Structure 1
Amino acid sequence: MTANKDMLDRLEGVKAQNYSLGQVGDYEIKQLKIFKAVVDCGGFAAAESYLNVGRPTISIHISNLEARLNLVLCKRGRAGFSLTEEGEVIYRMANELFEFLDNFRGTVNSLNSQCTGQLRIALSDRVCLDPQSRFPELIKQYSAYAPNVSLVTQVSSMANIERIILNDEADIGFIPYHRPLEGLNYQHIYSDACYVYVAKGHPLTFMSEEEQAIKVDEFPASHSGVKLHDDLNEQVENMKLAAVSYFYDVRLSLILSGQYIGFLPERYAEDYEKLGLIQAVAKKQRTYTLGVAVAYRKTTQLNKPTELFLQALQKVFDINELSSAPY
């Protein structure tokens, strides 16, 4: 670089005109590659076979490059091919430029082939244990795509999951859908039917389904305590809401006490129902569909760990193209 600077200092007095190169693009880089090939081959004639281009075309490219740089780069004629002082500087700098581009390309390829860093996943209550989420299968597929990425997981409420994704404190969230939030993408993955459950021996269990539908609103109910989507709001607006329990395990405990009733996803409740500990009531009249989605931040460029996770999601759930959840 010192030799280049010395040469440039000597040339500064030679070039009288005030000239600025401006933006360098793909076209100039292509011309520089041709110029480098001519110099490496020792002249225009020898470069013909190397570039697989005729001598007139090579000459045009070199002339255009000289005009673009406002410099005479080489002498060609009966005396043979030789570089000017300016040409020697440009040749050295072109070599440095192409070496840098090669290193840049190699680094990018390495980053793509060996994805590293963290993937931060936040999950709503019990989602990872729901067979419909296929979470273990997702992690297995993701590990094949990104074996060098470490996972950081946490369980949190829907509202907090949305907040930390928006604040770039998490990359992926698994949440029951309850509202579309600006700034997030939601990819639907599965749905579950939800019913009102009561404990064994609860007064509602001794009634017909028609009576249950009439009486269900008279008993204390536990609910999630979050803003409800329209389908759920219609189901609970007349219920006697007496306790807040966001997490299913806590809500189930309140139901098992016999003092409260409450909505639970059918898949979550089925094992307890098989044991005879709880029972769904008014199933035809009191039910709604709970959609579960993978949420991630809207951005023009996802980080590589997140991008690979979404590819794993598409693979496992056989999704051709990611799209907004149909809510």
Structure 2
Amino acid sequence: MSMLRKINDIDLKLLRIFQTVADCGGFSAAESQLNIARSTISTHMADLESRLGLTLCQRGRAGFALTEEGKTVYDAVQEVFAVLDGFRQQVNGLHEKLTGELNIICSDAIVADPRFKLTEILDAFIAKAPDVTINISTNSLPEMEQALIDGRAHICFAPRHRDLSSLNYRPLYNEDYFLYCHAKHPLFAAKSGAIKDTDLSKHKFIHPGIQTIGQASLAMEGLPRSANAYIYEVRMALVKTGQYIGFFPSHYVQPWLHKKELRALCPDTRHYAVDIAALTRKTGPQDKLLKQLLIQLDRVYG
């Protein structure tokens, strides 16, 4: 029976490929992420399975799926690379020169808000750490929270819909959310002030798909949850059908409001405000890259 007796650089490379394939949900989806051909990915996966003596995934007409052994190996791979990343961060901390990778995750559409001064923050950070590789991606709030807890992200920028005890929150600015319908929706032509809660309850509502608290929960109370969409672009696609109503941040809807394609419904009652915040992990050592980024963030936001 084959067994991986000693991990070398080749094994780590193959495990990285396996991790990416699993995260992407298949060989085709992993091509662009890995920047290698699907046939090469298949060869690497076959090599890894041979070295481990295990079948890690099923692929074919039925689609891609990890085997039970594959799921166990995937969990172990996550732990291995978390340890390696922790080692790298500790070693980097021994040097005055800032090197390594800074991992940032932003909430959907936040970068387009002129109040979100990411360019200014990164400009100042790069001046202090020109050799650092910066990785920026977008994701849903639950995925961002988990990435911080797992150590896969240094910092996330997102609406502060809730507070987790394991995370720190630095408010940056306040964002207003209102309930909107499209011009094709039956409520669009209703007289101002004539729309009641009973009217809203008859129409399909897009829930953000996450747990909300405070003002947000109250603003959504009584609305029939007929769809779930965290990403604004997807939510807007549903609203544009004229079949749904949904909440959006004020800055995001300006182009549609300007063209009179959207209307805010019951803005006095169906409204909430949340802080746009910088989220970081509360426990564990704070490496120099994150410390430097937070210094620049505080300088930009005063």
Fold match, TM over 0.5? Answer: yes
Specify the SS of the correspondent of 2:251. helix
Instruction: Give how far 1:158 is off.
Output: 0.4
Native 8 Å contact 2:92 2:100 kept in 1: no
**Offset at 1:241?**
1.3
Percentage of pairs with the same residue:
27
Distance 1:123 1:109, change over 3 A: closer
Q: Give the CA deviation at 1:217.
A: 2.4
Alignment of 1:281-320 (within 5 A): 281-299=265-283, 301-318=285-302
Correspondent of 2:189 among 202, 206, 216: 206
Matches within 5 A, 1:244-263: 244-263=228-247
Counterpart position of 1:145: 128
Match of 1:278 in 2: 262
Instruction: Normalising by structure 1, report the TM-score.
Output: 0.61
Report the alpha carbon displacement of residue 250 of structure 1 after superposing the two structures with TM.
0.5
> Unpaired runs of 5+ in structure 2?
1-90
Deviation at 1:202, TM superposition (A): 2.2
Q: Is the 8 A contact 1:213 1:285 kept in 2?
A: no
Task: State which of 78, 95, 99 in structure 2 corresponds to 1:116.
Answer: 99
Q: SS in structure 1 opposite 2:115?
A: helix
Greater CA radius of gyration, 1 or 2? 1
Q: How does 1:227-246 map to 2 (within 5 A)?
A: 227-246=211-230
Q: 3-state SS of the aligned residue for 1:258?
A: coil
By how many angstroms is 1:108 displaced? Answer: 9.6
**Structure 1 residue 185 corresponds to structure 2 residue 136:** no
From the superposition, tell whether residues 194 and 213 of structure 1 become closer, same or farther in structure 2 (CA, over 3 Å). farther
- Structure 1 gaps of 5+ residues are 1-106, 319-327
Tell me the TM-score normalized by structure 2.
0.66
Q: Distance in 1 between matches of 2:129 and 2:268?
A: 45
The one-letter code sitting in structure 2 at the alignment partner of 1:248 is Y
Question: How many positions carry a matched residue from both structures?
Answer: 211
Q: How far off is 1:109 after superposition?
A: 10
Seen in structure 2, the aligned counterparts of structure 1 residues 108 and 143 have a Cα distance that, compared at 3 Å, is closer
1:197-226 Cα offsets, whole Å, 9 max, x none, are 111142222223322243222211111111
Task: Tell me the secondary structure at the aligned position of residue 283 of structure 2.
Answer: coil
The answer to whether 1:126 aligns with 2:105 is no
- Superposed CA RMSD in Å reads 1.9
Distance 1:108 1:225 in 2: 38
In the alignment, the residues of structure 2 paired with residue 127 and residue 213 of structure 1 have an alpha-carbon distance, to the nearest angstrom, of: 31
List, as ranges, runs of 4+ consecutive aligned residues in structure 1 with deviation greater than 6 Å.
Answer: 107-110
Structure 1 match to 2:88: none
Q: Which has the higher helix share?
A: 1
Alignment check: 8 A CA contact 1:121 1:151 kept: yes
1: distance between equivalents of 2:232 and 2:268? 22
